[in-house]
Amino acid sequence: MKKLQSELLIAKHLRQSVFKNKAIFIITLFIGILLLYAIFSGWENFKNQNETSEKYQHESREDWLKNPDKNPHRMAHYGNFAFRKSTSLSVFEFGMEPFFGNAIFLEAHKQNTANFSEAGFSNSMLRFGEISIAMVLQVLLPLLIFFIGFNSIAYERENGTLKILLTQGVNWKQLLIGKALGIASVIMMLFIPTLIILVLVWLFLQNFTITADETIKMLLFIVFHLAYLLFFCVIAVLISAISKTSKKALITLIGIWLVFTIILPRTTQAIGGYIFEAPSKIQFNSAVEKDILKQGDSHNPNDPHYKAIKDSLLRAYKVDSVQKLPFNYSGFVMTEGEKISSRIYNEHLAELLQVYKKQNSFSKAVSFLNPYIAMKNLSMGLSNTDYESYIDFQKQAEEYRYKMAQKMNALQIKYISNKKPSAGEKPYSISKEHWADLEDFHYEAKPIAIVLKNEIISIISIILWITLLFILIRIAAQKLKAI
Amino acid sequence: MLSLIFKNFIRSKGTKIGLFFLFCIGFISLLIGKQFQDKQQNNILEATVYQKESLARNAEFHKDEIGLLLYYAKFSLVNKTLPINSLAIGQRDVNPSIQSVNIRGLEAQKYDAELNNANNLLAGNMDLSFVLIYLFPLLIIAFSYNLISEEKESGTWKIVATQSQNTFIYIIKLFYIRILSLIALLSILLFASVLFLSVPLDLSFFTFYGLGILYILFWFAVCFFIVSLQKHSNFNAVILLTIWLFLIIIVPAGINAYIVNKYQIPEALELTLKQRNAYHEKWDTDKNETMEKFYKHYPQFREYKIPADKEFTWLWYYAMQQLGDDESAVQSSELETKLQQRNLASQSIAQFIPTLHTQLQLNEIAHADLGNQLLFLKETTRFHERLRLHFYPKIFTDAAVKDQKWENFKVETFNDPTSIRFANAFLPLVIFNVLLIVLGWFNFRRNVI
């Protein structure tokens, strides 16, 4: 403990003098209020999102079960819905949520888009950003740290007090660490209360029954944000130490902040989007349709692919017409059609996602240069509001759709007669009890292991940055001069 | 005097780097705009080809059954993209600019989303409006935060003050040079857009230009006011950046949260569920009841009856589809009202926030705002209705497929008729500018410089 005494003394001194600057006091107070607001609005958002999504998921399920006896293919067209649900950490990190579609209609033969995103229903206001805990922690607090830290050493140099400090037996390393700790202690006055509320809200939202998976995510969320903030404290002190005047330090720090949080994220993504152009919906759909037609059109009676299937079936069962087959022939054809169209759709989708991945790879790579992007990606991953989560949701929905369509086809093959009902006869139907055989759609968020695997670049980047800072402190401690 | 001030300004390394950097980003934004424009045009072309091909193919496959053909046939409506849209992409990336619909239930098709990489949407477009609204102010702040204060801190101000007759005029000149340089930069970028993006020199363009100039002036007015307080350079820098942060991120985000919470839209999900049930339940309910409701909507089709001996007819099928829309009409119009309210609320609040106001106005000029999207949705409804009214009698009489002129069904285009409201566009910015300049001038008068 004795070793750190001078550092702690310097830190204490900085903390006590910070709020003598009225502007800093007001900004800090304001950020505190903003944090409270962010918690409140995050909570509100989360509640609305999940209540609506649960309500309609439930309603849609009830509607499905309420259907009377009918032909299973009608049910396949009746379809189901997948409504998106949020995980509890998304209270603090909205990530891309406003841009995600909230509902996908799942029906036979057709992959629908995820519709009704918040962004589609908003004026461009949303594009300016959102106030969430994560935004305050990742964007505003670093700026506050810079505002507090820019004159931590530069000002002492301007005043001449730096020389006095150094002649009194304090060495550079102690000074740098002490100042950084001082700034950190001011920031902790905001960060620690936020954490306490955060954990309480998080516990409350899950009714105090937490899973190991969620707990690890929460802990990582806290630890990485803490490291991220400390990182900026050190940067502020280092820049202040190498700058001749406090004005130069301030301008440099503001520059760094702007490049990290405003300019780089947008430009890198824009460049990624520019270089790797993605097809539009109309191109995508017509490409899928063309490939399906190439494979065979189940609606065309003379299609060679389906004719071959028919002939082989007739041969195998030794009958001369499809009506004499022991199972429902059109159900069989639809099963085949669904299989082919889903496969082709998924192939095209994989291609499209590959393009998106390339677009994103640009900004992902830049996270090595920019700790903000690394932190942002990691926290979105942990709160299940990142790109991968959305793709995952759509994949789960598509799997469910396929299962539903094929289940209904199987019911048709098994229970529906092959002969067409004669005029005046009621159309064939099966008992409504079968509808319950298909379980409800249930979305499962990615487990922590997958999140960490997806975000490995971000984690490495943050760790590298922290290592770099330690090295820089060492170098600076040896090279810095008092004047 | 003025030329000396200019030389002094332009010789500084920071100035050159700043202007050059902004020019480069501005130029990149034009490239992005160009790509967006090409993509939009390509899509329209694609839609035209697709519609022609698929209509021909369907007419070939389903020669004997026009009802079945129209089950598949899709018709496209394009929301016209103005060339100036590439300078302010607005909401056109989120919302599809082409609607392709079949004549079945509309509500199930109307809100289909565009395919998008959510990462791109989150980061936002780097179009010229972004450069203007986000980045120009930063350079303006960098150019002006230390005017006077720097000279005072370095001790040269006394020399300036004794050498010029009127220090206030001197300050105005300092600002004048900086304003000119940034307006020149904006002009170059806009002129380049005329050349490379073939943006026509019309009213929209000049309104865009005017808004850009007023917006630049607004930020200079803010700086002028802060400089007039005559504080330390560091204080100026911190306070100006804080103002920027407020106007660019915090206030718009706060207002957005307010609007989203005030006008929540559960109607959207309600609508899809309702529409699905309304249509599907008709398969299991009394056919005559269904038909009666259909005839009530379209008395002109009462003459077409469903034959008693047939289980399935297209007349019945399309009546069922029609009722899916009819019975969810309440939810549909509620959704529309809510969106309309959101649009109005954001526009009226934006008048008091210059950044937000400028962004919304630029998007409005470029026909890329929520208002345009709502009009497009309305037009989609009308377009769909026209198709229905045209094809219904043909289906009900089982008209011959080959007699229809399928090649006449071209992709249609919707022109947003909204005209520019100058007072709305310019007045809020003018008022803010005048207010700030008067206050700043007052400060300079009160405090001896």
> What pLDDT tens digit does each residue of chain B (449 aa) get?
788 888 888 888 888 999 999 999 999 999 999 999 999 999 999 999 999 999 999 998 888 899 999 999 999 999 999 999 999 999 999 999 999 999 999 999 999 998 999 999 998 889 999 999 999 999 999 999 988 888 888 888 888 888 877 888 889 999 999 999 999 999 999 999 999 999 999 999 999 999 999 999 999 999 999 999 999 988 899 999 999 999 999 999 999 989 988 998 888 999 999 999 999 999 989 999 999 999 999 999 999 998 888 888 999 999 999 999 999 999 999 999 999 999 999 999 999 999 999 999 999 999 999 999 999 999 999 999 999 999 999 999 999 999 899 989 999 999 999 988 899 999 999 999 999 999 999 998 887 65
Residue A354: phi, psi to the nearest 5?
Answer: -65, -40
- Residue B319 in any domain: the answer is no
C-alpha distance from A169 to closest chain B C-alpha (Å):
31
Confidence of residue A298 (pLDDT cuts 50, 70, 90): low
Question: How buried is residue A55: exposed, middle or buried, by Cβ count under 10 Å (0-12/13-18/19+)?
Answer: middle
Close Cβ partners of A211 (under 8 Å, ≥ 6 residues apart)? none
- Residue B192 in any domain: the answer is yes
Count of other CB atoms within 10 angstroms of residue B11: 9
C-alpha distance from B239 to closest chain A C-alpha (Å):
8
Strand partners, B79: B414
- Residue A298 in any domain: the answer is no
Supply the pLDDT for residue A280. Answer: 87
Compute the half-sphere exposure of residue A409: CA atoms within 13 Å on the CB side of its CA: 20
B113: nearest CB among A67, A120, A127: A120
What is the overall mean pLDDT for chain A? 89
pLDDT digits (tens, 9 = 90+) for A148-172: 999 899 888 888 888 888 888 888 8
In angstroms, the CA A273 to CA B121 distance is 10
- Residue B264 in any domain: the answer is no
C-alpha distance from B301 to closest chain A C-alpha (Å):
25
- Residue B53 in any domain: the answer is no
- Residue A156 in any domain: the answer is yes
User: pLDDT at residue A134 above 60?
Assistant: yes
- Residue A47 in any domain: the answer is yes
Confidence of residue A404 (pLDDT cuts 50, 70, 90): very high
A354 has a chain B CB within 8 A of its CB: no
Supply the pLDDT for residue A354. Answer: 95
Confidence of residue A321 (pLDDT cuts 50, 70, 90): confident
- Residue A33 in any domain: the answer is yes
Supply the pLDDT for residue B236. Answer: 92
- Residue B371 in any domain: the answer is no
A124 and B93 in contact (C-beta within 8 Å)? no
Q: Answer yes or no: do B237 and A251 touch at CB < 8 A.
A: yes
In angstroms, the CA B44 to CA B346 distance is 31
User: pLDDT at residue A1 above 60?
Assistant: no
- Residue A226 in any domain: the answer is yes
Supply the pLDDT for residue A323. Answer: 83
Close Cβ partners of A39 (under 8 Å, ≥ 6 residues apart)? A91, A92, A133, A194, A197, A198, A201
In angstroms, the CA A187 to CA A233 distance is 9
pLDDT digits (tens, 9 = 90+) for A9-41: 888 888 888 888 788 888 889 999 999 999 988
Chain B positions touching A424 (Cβ under 8 A) are 309, 311
- Residue A292 in any domain: the answer is no
In angstroms, the CA A463 to CA A224 distance is 10
User: pLDDT at residue A381 above 60?
Assistant: yes
Query: What ipTM was estimated for this complex?
Result: 0.90
Query: Quick one: CA dihedral A252, A254, A257, A261, positive or negative?
Result: negative
In angstroms, the CA A309 to CA A306 distance is 5
| Host domain of residue B19 | 2-28+128-256+424-446
A250 and A158 in contact (C-beta within 8 Å)? no
Mutate to test the interface with B, among A147, A282, A363 (most CBs of B within 10 A): A282
pLDDT digits (tens, 9 = 90+) for A263-295: 899 889 988 989 999 998 888 998 998 898 888
3-state secondary structure of A211: coil
In angstroms, the CA A134 to CA B62 distance is 56
User: What's chain A's Rg over C-alpha atoms?
Assistant: 30
C-alpha distance from A311 to closest chain B C-alpha (Å):
22
pLDDT digits (tens, 9 = 90+) for A416-429: 887 777 766 777 88
B-contacting residues in A 177-236 (Cβ below 8 Å) = none
State the pairing for strand pair A110-115/B75-79: unpaired
| Host domain of residue A129 | 2-275+367-419+429-479
A64 and B280 in contact (C-beta within 8 Å)? no
Closest CA to A357 of A269, A443, A286, A283: A269
In angstroms, the CA A468 to CA A464 distance is 6
Entry pTM: 0.93
- Residue A375 in any domain: the answer is yes
- Residue B216 in any domain: the answer is yes
State the pairing for strand pair B75-79/B412-414: parallel
- Comparing alpha-carbon positions, the chain B residue that sits nearest to A28 is B242
How far is residue B266 from each of residues A442, B271, B324, measured CA to CA in Å? 21, 9, 19
B363 has a chain A CB within 8 A of its CB: yes
A-contacting residues in B 297-356 (Cβ below 8 Å) = 309-312, 339, 342-343, 346-347, 350, 355-356
- Residue B65 in any domain: the answer is no
- Residue B34 in any domain: the answer is no
- Residue A57 in any domain: the answer is yes
> How many domains, in total, are found in chain A?
1
DSSP per position, B78-95: EEPPPGGGGT--GGGTTS
Supply the pLDDT for residue B448. Answer: 62
> How many domains, in total, are found in chain B?
1
